[in-house]
């Protein structure tokens, strides 16, 4: 019996590797020829069995992790069995099911059903850790989780900071569809007791984009309040990300871009790094201002190198290829005309042979 348990554990550890190999070799259980061999399991069958294993208690945490990885790889067929586990008596199983659904994310066709089930499992009486896991899972589903905006909006006023933080981040990931939550996000950005929650709300307003244009006056106040050089680094970060959100919510106003560029060149260590990250994240949207700033710098200066590095990263991100250096073409001898070989004449190798007389 001990040997059997050991064999089962080894197989579970190898599951993600075996599943990846099947996909790489073009074998998908769901599309297998079940008429020829009805004993071949489908992806749904595999998912059902893996979910059962997820509910088992193991001393080795690596086994459960590999079961989770395999369910994520299976994807859509695993959604319904996982939704059932959101009603499990065990909080650990509910958390695991929520996390896996989040990793499967918007790729699942049953996203709407998954979001609905996640929202239902988000009661105030549930443990904090479970609520955060569920909210994070909803956020990973992106714009398809728009039906959860109303619930997430109420979570911005929760008494626990981690839940408010998760709600703000999730609303940002949902994007423009989170527009109904703009008033609550503005209130959080200005008045939340925890600075990292305020920062998450500021970022979320930017990710909502022009649909959050009503927040522009408040974002300007936040930027001006913490723009002073003697501000605390964490508070200064609020100003920096308020500028980023101003660019995203009101693209016509380009003054925030110049301020972020200045921070990337003259700010303190952490602020300089955050400003550089923002400019890379905004990509080609800020290219005209970056090129204008590049002309103002001396070629040998650190400022010139930094701006040039940001532009290069933005080009790589957008898929633009730098022009290759011109090189002299190699002189080659003229090739002699040769008669085509059989494999050049026929497409493939399945050539019909003439029947023998």
Q: DSSP readout, 117-143?
A: HHHHT--TTS-HHHHHHHHHHHHHTGG
- Mean pLDDT of the region 153-174: 96
Residue 344 pLDDT: 44
Say how far apart CA 306 and CA 316 lie, in whole Å.
15
- In terms of residue numbers, what domain contains 56? 1-31+42-105
| Gap between the Cα atoms of 33 and 42, Å rounded | 10
d(CA 164, CA 26): 44
Q: Is residue 158 part of a domain?
A: no
Domain assignment present for residue 333? The answer is: no
Q: What is the pTM of this model?
A: 0.77
Question: What's phi and psi for 327, nearest 5 deg?
Answer: -130, 150
* pLDDT range class, residue 319, cuts 50, 70, 90: confident
The whole-number pLDDT of residue 318 equals 77
Q: Is residue 277 a part of any domain in this protein?
A: no
Total number of domains constituting the chain: 1
CA terminus-to-terminus distance, the chain: 65
Domain membership flag for residue 3? yes
pLDDT per residue as tens digits for the range 74-104? 888 888 889 888 888 888 889 989 999 998 8
317 vs 8, 195, 261, 280, 314, CA distance in Å? Answer: 44, 31, 19, 8, 5
Establish if 1 belongs to a structural domain. yes
Tell me if 306 is assigned to some domain: no
Cβ–Cβ < 8 Å for 19, 70: yes
Residue 65 counted as domain residue: yes
| DSSP three-state, residue 176 | helix
At which residue do the structure tokens 């990846």 appear?
20
Report yes or no on 186 lying in a domain.
Answer: no
């Amino acid at each position: 019996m001990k040997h059997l348990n050991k064999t089962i554990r080894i197989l579970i550890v190898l599951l993600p590797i075996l599943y990846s190999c099947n996909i790489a070799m073009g074998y998908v259980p769901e599309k297998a020829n079940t008429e020829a061999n009805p004993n071949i399991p489908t992806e749904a069958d595999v998912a059902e069995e893996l979910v059962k294993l997820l509910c088992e208690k193991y001393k080795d945490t690596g086994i459960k992790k590999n079961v989770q990885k395999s369910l994520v790889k299976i994807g859509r067929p695993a959604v319904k069995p996982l939704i059932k586990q959101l009603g499990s008596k065990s909080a650990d199983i509910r958390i695991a099911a929520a996390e896996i659904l989040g990793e499967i994310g918007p790729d699942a066709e049953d996203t709407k059903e998954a979001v609905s089930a996640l929202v239902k499992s988000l009661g105030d009486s549930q443990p904090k850790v479970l609520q955060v896991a569920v909210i994070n899972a909803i956020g990973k589903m992106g714009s398809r989780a728009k039906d959860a905006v109303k619930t997430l909006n109420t979570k911005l006023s929760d008494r626990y900071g981690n839940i408010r933080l998760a709600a703000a981040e999730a609303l940002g990931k949902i994007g423009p569809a989170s527009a109904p939550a703009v008033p609550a996000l503005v209130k959080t950005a200005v008045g939340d007791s925890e600075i990292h929650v305020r920062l998450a709300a500021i970022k979320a307003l930017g990710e909502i984009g022009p649909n959050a244009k009503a927040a522009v006056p408040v974002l300007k106040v936040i930027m001006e309040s913490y723009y002073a050089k003697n501000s605390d680094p964490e508070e200064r970060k609020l100003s920096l990300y308020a500028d980023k959100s101003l660019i995203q919510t009101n693209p016509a106003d380009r003054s925030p871009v110049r301020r972020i560029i200045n921070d990337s060149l003259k700010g303190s260590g952490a602020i300089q790094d955050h400003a550089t990250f923002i400019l890379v994240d905004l990509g080609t949207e800020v290219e005209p201002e970056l090129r204008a700033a590049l002309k103002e710098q001396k070629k040998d200066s650190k400022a010139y190198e930094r701006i040039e590095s940001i532009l290069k990263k933005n080009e790589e991100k957008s898929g633009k290829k730098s022009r290759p250096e011109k090189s002299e073409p190699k002189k080659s001898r003229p090739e002699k005309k040769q008669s085509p070989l059989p494999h050049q004449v026929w497409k493939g190798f399945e050539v019909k042979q003439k029947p023998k007389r």
